[in-house]
A and B are shown apart, each in its own frame.
Chain A
Amino acid sequence: DAGVIQSPRHEVTEMGQEVTLRCKPISGHNSLFWYRQTMMRGLELLIYFNNNVPIDDSGMPEDRFSAKMPNASFSTLKIQPSEPRDSAVYFCASRPGQYEAFFGQGTRLTVV
């Protein structure tokens, strides 16, 4: 299995532009998580899905952030418009059942 696949690995964009981060979870995993990691705030849970349904999006910073999971093999996290304070590493993770979550390699986003 290829593991959780995130794309792109690096993204540099200008303030005000739309950014879309993508995630392909491990086949058969029914939970998917999006996290944001910064030095100041650590690893924050943004949103998570069970069986493609958003369960808790209380961690989404503001309306500029949105996430979708149209099917079991794909999820997106969109930021529109992006701001410099959105610069961070964004991780996607998937999990089968209730045990450990498997993380992707992350997307390093820089908004200039």
Chain B
Amino acid sequence: AQKITQTQPGMFVQEKEAVTLDCTYDTSDQSYGLFWYKQPSSGEMIFLIYQGSYDEQNATEGRYSLNFQKARKSANLVISASQLGDSAMYFCAMREALRGKLIFGQGTELSVKP
């Protein structure tokens, strides 16, 4: 069965520093997609970045990058130059290729300190 694991319930980072949020996954599929979402205290779910399993290069979107290590089944999110507005819950998610099921990890709460 597919599974997403985020082992860091909470993280702290100093403003302007970089931070890495961990995500490991388990799947027997060869083709799948990996996503990161942000959930601020207001509650909405905001899509950040996507990585396909066949993409050879790590995905980047502005200050967000996804460190994709396929052999290790990890898809860590790197946020560069943290801002106070980055304080939120961050969820890693995986989509199975065949039927499109989308499952989420438990989330990591990031706090950015001024």
For the complex, give the distance between the alpha carbons of A102 and B44 in Å.
10
Chain B neighbourhood of A99, CB < 8 A: 33, 50
Size of the A side of the interface (Cβ < 8 Å), in residues, is: 22
A100-B47 in contact (CB<8A):
yes
A106-B33 in contact (CB<8A):
no
A98-B44 in contact (CB<8A):
no
For the complex, give the distance between the alpha carbons of A43 and B4 in Å.
11
A91-B33 in contact (CB<8A):
no
B102-A101 in contact (CB<8A):
yes
B102-A102 in contact (CB<8A):
no
For the complex, give the distance between the alpha carbons of A106 and B40 in Å.
13
Segment 3-59 of B: residues with Cβ below 8 Å from A? 33, 35, 37, 43-45, 47, 50
Q: Is residue B112 within 8 Å, beta carbon to beta carbon, of the partner chain?
A: no
Segment with Cβ contacts to A, from B65-73, B74-82, B93-101: B93-101
8 Å CB contact of B100 from A35, A55, A105: A55
A48-B103 in contact (CB<8A):
no
The size bracket of the interface on B is 20 to 34
Chain B neighbourhood of A98, CB < 8 A: 33, 95, 97, 100
For the complex, give the distance between the alpha carbons of A98 and B106 in Å.
22
For the complex, give the distance between the alpha carbons of A36 and B101 in Å.
15
A45-B99 in contact (CB<8A):
no
A48-B45 in contact (CB<8A):
no
For the complex, give the distance between the alpha carbons of A105 and B40 in Å.
12
A55-B99 in contact (CB<8A):
yes
For the complex, give the distance between the alpha carbons of A95 and B105 in Å.
19
Q: Which residues of A contact B (CB under 8 A)?
A: 31, 33, 35, 42-43, 45, 48, 50, 55-56, 89, 91, 93, 95, 98-103, 105-106
Q: Could you list some 5 contacts between A and B, CB below 8 A?
A: A43-B104, A43-B107, A45-B104, A48-B102, A106-B44
* Beyond A45-B103, A55-B99, A102-B47, 7 extra complex contacts between A and B, CB < 8 Å: A42-B105, A56-B101, A93-B45, A95-B100, A103-B45, A106-B43, A106-B44
